[in-house]
Structure 1
Amino acid sequence: MKFRSSIRLVRLLALLMAVNTSVSATDLKLHQLEEEALQAAVARVAPSVVQIAAFGGQQRVGRHLVGTSPTTGLVVSEDGLIVSSEFNFIQNPSSILVTTASGQRIAARILARDHSKNLVLLQAEANHSWTVPQAVPVSQMSVGQWAIAVGRTFDEGTSGSVGILSATNRIWGKAIQTDAKVSPNNYGGPLIDIQGRVLGVVAPMSPHTRDKMAGSEWYDSGIGFAVPLVDVYDQLDRWKTGHDLSPGVMGISLKGDDMFTLPAEIAASLPNSPARSAGLESGDTIVQINGKHVERQVHLKHLLGPLYAGDEVQLVVERNGHRLEKLLTLVDQITPYEFPFLGILPRRDSGDRLFVRWVFPGSPAEQCGLQVDDEVTHIAEKPVAGVQQAWEVLAALEQRKNVRILVNRKGTHHVLVTSLTSLSKTTAETLPAAEPKASQVAERHANTGIVDIKVPEVPNECFAYVSEQYDTAKPAALVVWLTEPGENNRESLLTRWKDSCQQHNVILLAPQPADPKRWQRTEIDFVRKCMDHILTSYEIDRTRVVVHGYEAGGTLAYWVAFSHLDIVRAVAAIDTSLPSQLRPPATDPLHRLSILATTSSTSPAAMRINQSLKVLALLKYPLFVHDRNKNEGVFNSTEQAMLVRWIDALDRI
Structure 2
Amino acid sequence: MSDNPFASPNADASRPQGGAGVSSDDTEVIPTQGGSPAPTPAAQQAAPATSPAAPAAPAQPAPAQPVPPVDETAPYTPPLTPASDGTMSTAQPPYDGTGYGAPAPVAPPKEKKGRVGAGAVAGIAAGALLLGLGGGVAGAWAFDEFGSPSASLAMTTGQSVDRPEGSVAAVAAAVMPSVVSIESTMQGGAATGSGFVIQDDGYILTNNHVVDGAQDITVVFSDGSEHSAELIGATADYDLAVIKVDITGLTPLTFADSDEVVVGDATIAVGSPLGLEGTVTTGIVSSMHRPVTAGDTQSQAYIDALQTDAAINPGNSGGPLLNANGEVIGVNSAIATLSGASSETGSIGLGFAIPSNQAQRTAEQLIENGVATYPVIGVQLDGRYTGEGVQVVDSDAGVVADGPADQAGIEPGDVITAIDGRPITQSDELIVAIRAKDAGDEVVLTVQDGDSERDVTVTLGSSNEVTYEETP
TM-score, normalised by the number of residues in structure 2 = 0.51
Query: Are 2:375 and 2:460, in contact at CA under 8 Å, matched by a contact in 1?
Result: no
Percent same amino acid among aligned pairs? 23
The gaps in structure 1 that reach 5 residues or longer are 1-31, 60-65, 207-215, 340-653
Q: Which amino acid aligns with 2:328?
A: V
Deviations 1:102-121 (A, max 9, x none): 44432211122232331211
1:122 matches 2:243 = yes
Partner of 2:400 in structure 1?
A: 274
Partner of 2:269 in structure 1?
A: 149
Alignment partners' CA distance in 2, 1:313 and 1:142: 23
Partner of 2:195 in structure 1?
A: 73
SS for the counterpart of 2:205 is strand
Partner of 1:337 in structure 2?
A: 470
Alignment partners' CA distance in 2, 1:255 and 1:236: 33
Match runs of 1:5-404 below 5 Å: 37-55=167-185, 57-59=186-188, 68-90=190-212, 92-124=213-245, 126-152=246-272, 158-171=278-291, 174-204=304-334, 219-245=346-372, 247-249=374-376, 250-254=378-382, 257-258=385-386, 262-268=388-394, 271=397, 274=400, 277=403, 279=406, 280-286=410-416, 292-293=420-421, 295-298=423-426, 300-307=430-437, 327=459, 329-331=461-463, 335=468, 337-339=470-472
Q: Which amino acid aligns with 1:253?
A: L
Q: Which amino acid aligns with 1:176?
A: L
Match runs of 1:404-483 below 5 Å: none
Q: 1:274 to 1:307 in 2, by over 3 A?
A: farther
Alignment partners' CA distance in 2, 1:155 and 1:302: 31
Q: 1:270 to 1:283 in 2, by over 3 A?
A: closer
Q: Which amino acid aligns with 2:356?
A: L
SS for the counterpart of 1:136 is coil
Q: 1:328 to 1:192 in 2, by over 3 A?
A: closer
Q: Which amino acid aligns with 2:461?
A: T
Q: 1:117 to 1:237 in 2, by over 3 A?
A: closer
Query: Are 1:318 and 1:324, in contact at CA under 8 Å, matched by a contact in 2?
Result: no
SS for the counterpart of 1:116 is coil
SS for the counterpart of 2:316 is coil
Shift of 1:165: 2.1
The gaps in structure 2 that reach 5 residues or longer are 1-161, 293-302, 337-342
Alignment partners' CA distance in 2, 1:175 and 1:324: 25
Shift of 1:267: 3.6
Q: Which has the larger radius of gyration?
A: 1
SS for the counterpart of 1:234 is helix
Bigger RCO of structures 1 and 2 (CA < 8 A, at least 6 apart): 2
Q: 1:88 to 1:314 in 2, by over 3 A?
A: closer
Alignment partners' CA distance in 2, 1:43 and 1:128: 21
SS for the counterpart of 1:70 is strand
Alignment partners' CA distance in 1, 2:351 and 2:333: 8
Deviations 1:570-618 (A, max 9, x none): xxxxxxxxxxxxxxxxxxxxxxxxxxxxxxxxxxxxxxxxxxxxxxxxx
Alignment partners' CA distance in 2, 1:302 and 1:70: 28
SS for the counterpart of 1:268 is coil
Alignment partners' CA distance in 2, 1:323 and 1:163: 38
Query: Are 1:73 and 1:188, in contact at CA under 8 Å, matched by a contact in 2?
Result: yes
Q: Which amino acid aligns with 2:470?
A: Y
Shift of 1:48: 1.1
Q: Which amino acid aligns with 2:355?
A: P
Q: 1:169 to 1:218 in 2, by over 3 A?
A: farther
Query: Are 2:274 and 2:313, in contact at CA under 8 Å, matched by a contact in 1?
Result: no
Alignment partners' CA distance in 2, 1:327 and 1:148: 35
Q: 1:34 to 1:69 in 2, by over 3 A?
A: farther
Aligned alpha-carbon RMSD (Å): 3.9
TM-score, normalised by the number of residues in structure 1 = 0.38
Query: Are 1:165 and 1:179, in contact at CA under 8 Å, matched by a contact in 2?
Result: yes
SS for the counterpart of 1:43 is helix
Shift of 1:69: 3.5
Q: 1:325 to 1:100 in 2, by over 3 A?
A: closer
Q: 1:224 to 1:115 in 2, by over 3 A?
A: same
Shift of 1:78: 2.1
Deviations 1:283-311 (A, max 9, x none): 3344775xx23654456345224246x55
- Which of the pair is proportionally richer in helix? 1
Alignment partners' CA distance in 2, 1:175 and 1:297: 17
SS for the counterpart of 2:263 is coil
Shift of 1:182: 1.3
Q: 1:102 to 1:275 in 2, by over 3 A?
A: farther
Query: Are 2:182 and 2:195, in contact at CA under 8 Å, matched by a contact in 1?
Result: yes
Shift of 1:149: 1.6
SS for the counterpart of 1:303 is helix
Q: Which amino acid aligns with 1:329?
A: G
Q: Which amino acid aligns with 2:392?
A: I
Alignment partners' CA distance in 2, 1:255 and 1:69: 37
Deviations 1:151-203 (A, max 9, x none): 14788961112322211222266221112221223211112233322221111
Alignment partners' CA distance in 2, 1:192 and 1:243: 26
